[in-house]
Amino acid sequence: MKKIWMSAIAALLAGGVLYAGESEFKLAKPSDWKASTPVKWIGKDKDVMEVTGPTTLLSVKKFDIDVKKHFKLEADVKQISGGPIPVCVGFKLFDKNDKEITSFMVNAHHNSETTVVKDVKAGDKVIILKANPYWKKSIFAVALNAKKDLSDLPNYDLLTPAKVTVKGQEMEVQLKKPVDKAIPAGTVVRAHGGGGYMYTGGYKVLNNGQEAEFKGVAKGVNKSGMTSGRWAPGAVKAQIILLVNWKWGSKDKAVAHVKDVELEIK
């Protein structure tokens, strides 16, 4: 039995399948995926997903992140109809408490820290801040209790602005909904930008009949921001995400085929 076991190991290594510390995951069956719309499995081996209409595909498995390793993500997508239409391939991120980390929690506008000028009461929809020229960019969120060294990222204590108006040495921020707690004068805040997921595999617009390979590698960690090639601060787990037929309001339901989704970690 020992001889047979050693022979099996030798054959595996000779084939170059995997080395110590490497992992390879092929997501090619229904139990590997959660989908926002019904998916039809087609092809000779029933390993191709036929996706109709705007659909989010999420891997059932969440992968532990080791920022020192390479995470190589690949997927093949062919647009059957409804093109030209966007497709995105990447990761959805989670923190140590399994809470999702979104782009606007980490996409800090650098040097945009400023302070609340007047006390804000629970129920208020306007906050007054000390003016800061770095707030001229598009602002998706106002991060409370911000730290200059960015150690607060990911920041979950966010407000969503509707409009920012500069009035001399101050900025008036109108919010989309009332605050649910008091915010004292002197509180440090920061402007954050928006964005989507971590698109390591890439973003492409596919025409009908066009087949494309999505491929990318993630390694290391950002001090701030969600980018395709480095993990966002605070991320400890990742879930593969594909946004297929990602065009809303189309009269015709687009159809795409997805296959050969693989993740290699080494």
- pLDDT exceeds 50 at position 3: no
Tell me the two tokens of residue 61: 């498995």
pLDDT digits (tens, 9 = 90+) for 57-85: 999 999 999 999 999 999 999 999 999 99
Rounded distance between C-alpha atoms, residue 56 and residue 37, angstroms: 8
Q: How far apart are CA 77 and CA 54, in angstroms?
A: 14
Q: What is the mean pLDDT of residues 204-218?
A: 98
Question: If 0-12 CB within 10 Å is exposed, 13-18 middle and 19+ buried, where does residue 56 land?
Answer: middle
**Helix %, strand %, coil % of the chain (to 5):** 10, 45, 45
Q: How far apart are CA 71 and CA 68, in angstroms?
A: 10
Per-residue pLDDT band for 251 (boundaries 50, 70, 90) equals low
On whether the CB atoms of residues 141 and 255 are closer than 8 A, the answer is no
Q: 């076991």: which residue's tokens?
A: 5
Whether the per-residue pLDDT at 16 is higher than 90: the answer is no
Tens digit of pLDDT for each residue in 99-150? 999 999 999 999 999 999 999 999 999 999 999 999 987 899 999 999 999 9
Amino acid 64: pLDDT: 98
- Banded pLDDT at 13 (limits 50, 70, 90): very low
Structure token digits, residue 68: 């020192």
Give yes or no for a contact between 229 and 221, defined as CB atoms under 8 angstroms apart.
no
Q: Which amino acid is at 248?
A: W
Flag whether the pTM goes above 0.85. Answer: yes
Instruction: Look at residue 137 in the predicted model and tell me its pLDDT.
Output: 77
DSSP-assigned beta bridge partners for residue 23: 265
